[in-house]
Amino acid sequence: MKKIVFFDIDGTLLDHEKKLPISTKNAIRLLKENGVFVAIATGRAPFMFEGLREELDIDSFVSFNGQYVVFEKKAIYENPLNESGMEKLYQKALINKHPLVFMTEKTMKSSVKHHPFIETSLGSLNFLHPEEDLHFYVNRKLYQSLLFCESQDEHIYLDAFPNFDFIRWHPYSVDILPKGGSKAEGIKKMIDQLGFELKDVYAFGDGLNDLEMLKEVGTGVAMGNGVPEAKQHADLITTDVSNNGIWNGLKELQLI
């Protein structure tokens, strides 16, 4: 039976220094040689992991936590944020002095010239502060936005925007997604295209945005460095990303 493995990026493919371990690169190569289909499932925008896709020779991915799905370099599913909802959220964030970053598949822009929360959180992914463009969300497909506030201020938005999901990925930032959008939904779109069954689908992840994915696929693998919730939803827990986590997990699953 043909199998497919989806890999999260940060804390899964990339280690704590945002580097690709040699053992992980070798594991991906062996997976392919064994006839296993390999794809990425990430909260990142496509422009944020072009180099990684090239290095691993991967052309299929679920990005923006499931909102933009590409199979063999061709977009097969798009689920952009509601524009009128984004307008209302922008106005509320403006009042509360919480900056936003708007994201398309090609680029991102900020609602402010500079903010330390943006600099710190995006800096943790090795990205610079985006340029300011107040109205970038107008007449443009945004698949995800980032709201920059601390956890105690999240409540301002949770009930006010029932059509959006808010998923925290950094102490200073949350992802804004269409309601019900997840990596799991994006994965379903791709495996429908491929004709795979869920029981032949594997996924590796470590974060809060991986929970649905780890739960829904045939075999969910949580990294040793994963959050407790990811480990609770997983079928298997491998070692830390920096301790050959991908290699060890694939070995235990007998995929390499």
In angstroms, the CA 216 to CA 239 distance is 21
**How far apart are the C-alpha atoms of 139 and 151, rounded to whole Å?**
30
Least Cα distance to 231 among 249, 254, 211 occurs for 211
Specify whether the CB–CB gap between 191 and 170 falls below 8 A: no
Active site residue 210: no
Kindly state the helix (H) or strand (E) to which residue 222 belongs, with its residue range: strand 219-222
Closest listed residue to residue 146, CA positions, set 123, 125, 179, 169: 169
- Name the helix (H) or strand (E) containing 249: helix 245-252
Catalytic one among 8, 10, 206, 210? Answer: 8
Q: Annotated catalytic sites, by residue?
A: 8
